[in-house]
Chain A
């Protein structure tokens, strides 16, 4: 039996975060410039910005950094000493994560755990992290989480769940990990009216985030479309940048490179993107995906056909980032509609 919901007055937020920082490394959305934010390690509670909708860079970055040292090495004579950087010292808390981003992390869990190999860099961070979800009271017009099996108040994957009540957050304890924070003295007991308000907010948000798009049968449909001329049209306006893949909460491709100078260096992994020609270019000069046609097809097929084949669900959570930030204003919802209703 979990504890009932508590509440945290917004005026106490900073103090609350300060107490968390004594025991945890804290991560959350931080504003870098007007209209631009990312998830970042918090050095000062002042930085946290829970007011804006999803940050540009998704939650995945906390577990799977855009650029991450895997190990450092040093040459000693003819030998090389390798020291991995996979260990995570302190427990971590991520706050302000929206349900869609958390849904995406649950998908990434499957990729990075895997049946045969565990990606230790991802897994060790994930293990040590307590996730605080934040309800979306006002989903944007670009949000289509409901069509992807999620929703603005979906709690799956959260250890704690916060609902913005205006002057305070309602705090729900969903897992044992989450409950570990329940003793904090800044958390007060929530009264019935506050719980009712949260319910009303949930009701309103869910009405707003309706599922207008059904992707039922998409995997099968795409099976038949591999060689379709459809891709010729889909790719037309793609300029071949990496925005949609880098900002996608589920995209997880990476590159591994060495950065070195004179006998010491590091192996680094960086996000990579199937939309880059270099991604699949072989040393021989042959490229199995030579044009944006094959590359945009790969992106969509991976999300809606290959990923379902391998993991049983589509690799899209409907966060809408690719729609908002695509320089060519490619709208994946429209493309999905075109796939489903030829």
Chain B
């Protein structure tokens, strides 16, 4: 993943939330595309990684992104019933539900990891989702609770 360095926070004042979005190839990625071609504005804070299906998103991807300093993660896939692979998004939904609740339980703020259904026709919804996620994460501020520290000094 290339997010690691680009996600480093430079200065508090100039801070802009960095959001990583995993978009499914068939719906949400096409939705983002549509938002672009339709010239619908959305915040530039999001970096997109295209995945075959929202069910493909290994929880490790989300965790690694957060640990590497990404301020927020969005996972977006096809609406229920629309999955290109019939059930990928349903299975993914269970992973997302348990992971989200678990991270919140540990003390990762609820807004850091978010999920959405965005179809290929929903350019406007994609834009709306990105706006919301960006604003949520902006309110939370830079991720501090869980990022790599410089290697512990030798004793």
Contact = CB atoms under 8 A, between A and B. Distances in A.
Do these two chains interact? yes
A65 B151 contact: no
* Interface magnitude class on chain A: 10 to 19
B155 A41 contact: yes
Contact of A85 (B4, B154, B155): B154
A197 to B, nearest CB: 34
Main secondary structure on B side of the interface with A:
loop
A57 to B, nearest CB: 10
B10 interface: no
Interface in B114-155: 151-152, 154-155
A28 to B, nearest CB: 11
B155 A39 contact: yes
A68 B5 contact: no
B28 to A, nearest CB: 29
B2 to A, nearest CB: 10
Contact of A69 (B4, B5, B154): B154
Contacts of A41: 155
Interface string A64-103: 0101110000000000000001000000000000000000
A261 B152 contact: no
Contacts of A67: 151-152
Interface of A: 27, 39-41, 61-62, 65, 67-69, 85, 259, 261-262, 266, 268
15 contacts: A27-B155, A40-B155, A41-B155, A62-B155, A65-B154, A65-B155, A67-B152, A68-B154, A69-B151, A69-B154, A259-B151, A261-B4, A262-B5, A266-B151, A268-B151
Interface of B: 4-5, 151-152, 154-155
